[in-house]
Structure formats: C-alpha cells, structure tokens
C-alpha cells in the first residue's frame, strides 16, 4: 500500500494529493518512552494517536471537497447542508473540543525559540525574521528525516525501523515531547499545503501543562474549514486533517468505502473502529463516479444521528464538550476565526430543520478573518472574539412546531438547483449501469459490515446478560443491566438496518437486470 503522502488522484485537472503523513507520526509516537507517551496523552492526543493509520480515500475526498460552500461553511449535498461539528470531532478523534482557545503570543521573529528547541545549528545562516520551520528539521533532530513507509512495507515493519532509528539523544523529556508534538501538528493535525510548520505552535507548546488545557479539537476543525476553500479550487494538494473528514463522511452517508472492524464496538475514539482496507469494487471508482454516487445517494439513508447508543462515560472528550454541541460558535486557530453554522444542520441534533435564509447567517464579527501578528498577543487584541468562545457561543434554539424539514428542502433546492443537478438528466446507459453496479457493491460491503456488527453485539449482549445473572453485587448488576439494555437497542438498530439494506440490494439488483437505468 502506498504511504498516505504519496497517494494521489491521477486523472483530470483536479487531481489531489494530501499533505498528511500519518504513518511516521504513529510510529514515532509508539516508539517513544512510556513516560513521554503519557505526557502527550495528558495533552489530549493519546486517543487519536492510538488509531492505526489507514488508506486515504483520495477520490472520495476529491468529490467531497468540491461541494464545499465558503459562504455558509458547509458541504452542499443533495439532501441539504452538511457540516462536521464538534460532536463529530469529539466522538471520532477523542480530541478535546472544550477549553482554552488556541491563540496566544505571536512574535515577529522566532529565531531564538527554534534555536532553543532544536539547537542553534538549525537556524545558523538562516535569513531573519524566521516565521516557519521545515518539518524535516524536526524529524532530522531525532534521526528520522527521510523516513517513509515503502509501498510493500507493513505498518509493523515500518514501526520497527522507526524504533531502531529514533535517537532522542540527551534531550530532556519535555524537549523530546515538544519536538514530536510540533511535527504531529505540522504533518497531521494542522497539516497545510506546505512542508513548513507555523512557529506559533512552538510558543504554544513551551508550557506543556498549559498545552493540555487547549481546545485542540475545535482548533483542528477551524483549521480544516480555513483550508477547504483553497482545496476546492482545483488545487493539487489539500490541507487539514483529512482522515477525520473521510471518516466523518463514511459515518454520515455510508457508501461501502470503509468497514467497521468486528469486535471493536467498544473501542474509542470511533475512528479506531474503522478499517479502510479497500474493496476494489468500490474504491477503484474514480472521483467522477463518486460525484455521481453522491448525486443519487438515497436521502433516507443519510445518518443524521450516528452516535445514538454511545455512552458519554466512554468518551471523555464528548462528556466535557457536550454543552457546546448545540451552539453557534467561532472556531479559533492561531490567526484564523471560522464560523460553525450549526443552525444549518440541526438535524444532527435529532431536530427538524427549519428554513433559513443563508445570506442572513453572516453577522458582524463572525466572518472568516486572517490576522497577521507582529510581536503581540492575539487573544488580548481580539478580546471579544476570545470571550465569545469562552462563553460557549450562542445556543441554537429548537423550532418546536415543525412536523418535518420540507420547507427547508424546498428553499435549499431552489437556491442550489444548478449545482445539485436536480433535473436528473438522462445519463448514458453505460454510466447508469456502472452507477448501479457501484451502488450494489457499496450495499454488499455495508451489509458485510453490519452483519459482523450484529454478530459482535450478540456476543457482547450474551456476556452482559451472563454477568448480570451470575450473582454480582447490586451495583455491578445495575451497571450490567444498563449495558445490556444499550446493547439490545444497538442490536435492534443494526438488525433493522440489515433488513433495510437487504431489501434495497434486491431492488437494485432487479433494476440492473430489468434495464430500468435510464433516469436513475
């Protein structure tokens, strides 16, 4: 398998490659001493760094990013606006979404800070002022520069090589952690379309205890939002933490491009449960096929509330961040400020979506802005923006007298009619057949995943019932009973979904055999 950094979409003017290099981040973290891993985990990154790197679905991301609408910070899908939220970040990545905003002191020149972190030889002869640093300088400092997973190298083999090459020298534990986290930011969490990392992170990480108080998950989402517009303009690379975006899409509108690992239903974060060992019948489809599949995706199969049945106690980031999940927010990351328009996607809260005039969303002080610093404290200069975050934004109010979201959908379809291709133009029969075959393959992959989930849930339910009936203490029996109830509900939902997909697969198969493909 190709490394994530080498994967690219090879056809068309809009080919895309990701700047994410997950393999080395994961292997480097696993090779660190336990004490350093524990310190990184206390900063809020342990859950995410436990996720094994997976295949980056470039055609899928290519088709998805083209739907980004900058005016409302949302993906324009046939069934309505879709926006990754802080709830998604907390459940999928385990990153903290509540805490201090990721802003702080900004210098005109970071020469002395880099010299302190990596040594004076790194900055010797460099032209000043220094605002960024090559990511290769960070990996070189620990003997890992140029390390890249080969196309035939397993992840475990790559890890063994990294572990053997890692050289922490006589640095303090704190400096070693700071070097790793800076690289982790530049190559994964806050990846850009450059091979440099912003030196503002170097300052934020000088105090590792304070670094554990930041809302890194909210900053990651804001950073992703800030880069999606440039990624959507036919550029050849994309920034931001795209693996999160990929699994978010898989979770919300499953297309059979990833599967949940059997036996992992209790592991957190939820990204850990996904396996993207691609089925070639599905992932060999290029971005053009994915676009068509999105256009014709059944609206009733969109999963608006995928986390029902998950207990907050299993997800520390969720429990801490829940007060923010129904709020309009500003997402701050260094010098960027992005708006999270939750009022456009209240169906993710289990509510009906009211009609909203999109232009009216723009409020003074809530638009995206870039701030260029010169020896100043950004938080002090933009106190009202920081205060808005610390106060929890503005709660989105539920419209209680709605019976459905039909009025919203009428307005949405009228506004985006040309972009959504709602006329369902007649397509060539060969393309229609390919779409049906792709949809059938997706259904089969999804059925395989759900059947595995059903088997696992049945096993866990039997164990929970046995534990409850084995004469444990009253408190243990109560906990076991609650677990059994949750497992039974999850099992019922999974079995119902299996029945629905089996029926849909039969209908698609009948369409394909009957030749009813001209106007899908």
Give residue-wise pLDDT tens across range 462-477: 877 777 666 555 554 5
Can you give the pLDDT at residue 116?
Answer: 92
* Most confidently predicted of 35-49, 135-149, 282-296, 433-447: 35-49
The pLDDT of residue 342 is above 60? yes
Can you give the pLDDT at residue 278?
Answer: 56
Task: Quote the radius of gyration of the chain (alpha carbons, Å).
Answer: 24
pLDDT, average across residues 339-353: 95
pLDDT, average across residues 364-373: 42
Per the listing, tokens 């970040």 go with 89
Report the percentage of the chain scoring pLDDT > 90.
44
Cis preceding-peptide flag for 269 (omega within 30 of 0): yes
Token output for 505:
């697969």
pLDDT, average across residues 4-12: 36
The pLDDT of residue 16 is above 70? no
What gap in Å lies between CA 98 and CA 327, rounded to an integer?
12
C-beta of residue 464 within 8 angstroms of C-beta of residue 277: no
Is the entire prediction scored with pTM above 0.85? no
Question: For the ranges 130-134, 284-288, 425-429, which has the lowest average pLDDT?
Answer: 425-429
Task: Please write the tens of the pLDDT for every residue from 52-78.
Answer: 998 888 888 888 998 999 889 999 999
Which of 284, 179, 118 shows the shortest CA–CA distance to 187?
179
What gap in Å lies between CA 185 and CA 45, rounded to an integer?
11
Average pLDDT, the chain: 81
The pLDDT of residue 518 is above 50? no
Can you give the pLDDT at residue 8?
Answer: 37
H/E stretch holding 329 = strand 327-333
pLDDT, average across residues 113-125: 87
Token output for 381:
């200069």
First to last CA, the chain: 35
Per the listing, tokens 């019976």 go with 403
Can you give the pLDDT at residue 284?
Answer: 53
The pLDDT of residue 144 is above 80? yes
What gap in Å lies between CA 27 and CA 122, rounded to an integer?
24
Can you give the pLDDT at residue 162?
Answer: 96
Task: Please write the tens of the pLDDT for every residue from 424-469.
Answer: 545 556 555 655 666 666 667 667 767 777 787 778 778 777 776 6
**Reduced to 3 states, what is the DSSP secondary structure of residue 370?**
strand
Higher pLDDT, 515 or 356: 356
Give CA 388 to chain center in angstroms.
24
Can you give the pLDDT at residue 292?
Answer: 81
Can you give the pLDDT at residue 519?
Answer: 38
């Amino acid at each position: 398998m190709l490394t994530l950094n080498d994967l690219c979409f090879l056809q068309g003017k809009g080919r895309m490659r990701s700047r994410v290099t997950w393999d080395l981040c994961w292997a480097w973290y696993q090779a660190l001493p336990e004490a350093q891993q524990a310190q990184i985990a206390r900063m809020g990154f342990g859950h995410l760094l436990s996720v094994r790197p997976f295949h980056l679905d470039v055609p899928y991301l290519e088709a998805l990013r083209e739907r980004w609408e900058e005016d409302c910070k949302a993906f324009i899908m046939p069934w309505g606006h879709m926006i990754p939220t802080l709830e998604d970040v907390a459940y999928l990545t385990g990153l903290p979404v509540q805490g201090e905003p990721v802003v702080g002191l900004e210098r005109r020149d970071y020469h002395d800070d880099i010299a302190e972190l990596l040594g004076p030889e790194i900055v010797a002869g460099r032209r000043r002022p220094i605002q960024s640093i090559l990511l290769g300088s960070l990996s070189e400092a620990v003997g890992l520069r140029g390390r890249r997973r080969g196309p035939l190298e397993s992840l475990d083999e790559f890890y063994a090589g990294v572990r053997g090459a890692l050289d922490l020298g006589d640095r303090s534990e704190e400096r070693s952690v700071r070097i790793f986290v800076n690289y982790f930011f530049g190559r994964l969490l806050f990846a850009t379309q450059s091979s440099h990392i912003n030196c503002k992170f170097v300052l934020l990480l000088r105090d590792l205890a304070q670094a554990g108080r930041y809302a890194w998950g909210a900053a990651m989402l804001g950073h992703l939002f800030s880069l999606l517009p440039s990624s959507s303009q036919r550029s050849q690379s994309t920034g931001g933490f795209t693996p999160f975006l990929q699994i978010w899409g898989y979770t919300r509108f499953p297309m059979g491009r990833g599967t949940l690992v059997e036996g992992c239903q209790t592991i957190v974060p939820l990204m850990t449960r996904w396996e993207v060992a691609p089925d070639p019948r599905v992932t060999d489809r290029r971005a053009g096929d994915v676009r068509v599949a999105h256009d014709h995706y059944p609206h009733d199969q969109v999963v608006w509330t995928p986390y029902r049945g998950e207990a907050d106690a299993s997800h520390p980031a969720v429990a801490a961040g829940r007060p923010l999940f129904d709020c309009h927010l500003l997402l701050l990351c260094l010098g960027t400020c992005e708006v999270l328009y939750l009022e456009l996607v209240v169906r993710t809260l289990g509510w009906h979506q009211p009609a909203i005039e999109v232009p009216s969303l723009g409020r003074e002080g809530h638009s995206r802005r870039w701030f260029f610093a010169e020896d100043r404290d950004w938080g002090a200069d933009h106190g009202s923006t920081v205060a808005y975050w610390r106060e929890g934004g503005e709660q989105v109010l539920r419209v209680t007298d709605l019976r459905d979201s039909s009025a919203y959908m009428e307005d949405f379809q009228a506004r985006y009619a040309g972009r959504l291709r709602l006329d369902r133009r007649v397509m060539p029969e060969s393309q229609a057949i390919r779409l049906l075959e792709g949809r059938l393959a997706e259904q089969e992959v999804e059925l395989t995943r759900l059947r595995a989930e059903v088997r696992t849930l049945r096993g866990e339910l039997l164990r929970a019932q046995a534990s409850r009936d084995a004469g444990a203490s009253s408190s243990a029996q109560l906990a076991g009973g609650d677990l059994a109830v949750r497992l039974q509900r999850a099992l019922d939902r999974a079995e119902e979904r299996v029945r629905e997909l089996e029926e849909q697969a039969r209908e698609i198969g009948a369409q394909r055999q009957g030749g009813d493909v001209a106007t899908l």
